[in-house]
Amino acid sequence: MKSPTTISKATIDRLPLYFRTLRLAQDEGLDIISSDELGRRLGITPEQIRKDLASFGQFGKKGVGYFVNELKRNVGGILGLDNHWNIAIIGIGHLGAALANFHNFVTLGFNLVALFDEDPDVIGTTVNHVKVEDIANLEQIVKERQIHIGIIAVPAAFAQGVADKLVSAGVKGIWNFAPIKMEVPAGMHIVNEDLSVGLSSLSYHITRQ
């Protein structure tokens, strides 16, 4: 396998797409899938798929294809999905509650172990069988429950403060839904999901059709 530093971001970004497609193929009962079929489902050339996968090892059998279960397991391992990361959601408004009910967390191997909010009317309620805790106790609970990933779903004005608490508590990564650029220490992994940016981009393209 190549050194992680020599594997392109584009290749890494395609791995979750491969995993999702293989999971769907597995649900369909497929035992073997070709690079042609993977490419057809994803809109990616078979050559690119073979090149991407070759960055991580030798998979599949020439003239036969890829064994779906085996390749899904291998790609999941490359993505670290077999680590069963513990996650917490901060901000249990409409978006936070929707994320808490996202059934694919479990399917992907993530464990939702904590929810946080500051609203007294929300604290103590449960969403998807998880109790909402007072955000004042975030750092203590993150450490006690060994939470690896924090999901920020609070208004932009409060997001940086939440990020600071998560960093202080020792999380490994942050998934941020607040529409701001986070300031986090070097080495902290953060993924930003700005819904307004995506929708505005879609509006741009539709306008110019």
Q: Which residues are annotated as a binding site for NAD(+)?
A: 91-96
CA distance 143 to 131: 17
- CB of 44 within 8 A of CB of 38? yes
Name beta bridge partners: 173: 149, 189
CA distance 72 to 78: 10
Angle at 199 between CA 203 and CA 178, to 5 degrees: 150
Structure tokens at 205: 């393209």
- CB of 159 within 8 A of CB of 143? no
Binding-site sequence positions: 91-96
Look at strands 130-134 and 111-117 and give their pairing.
Answer: parallel
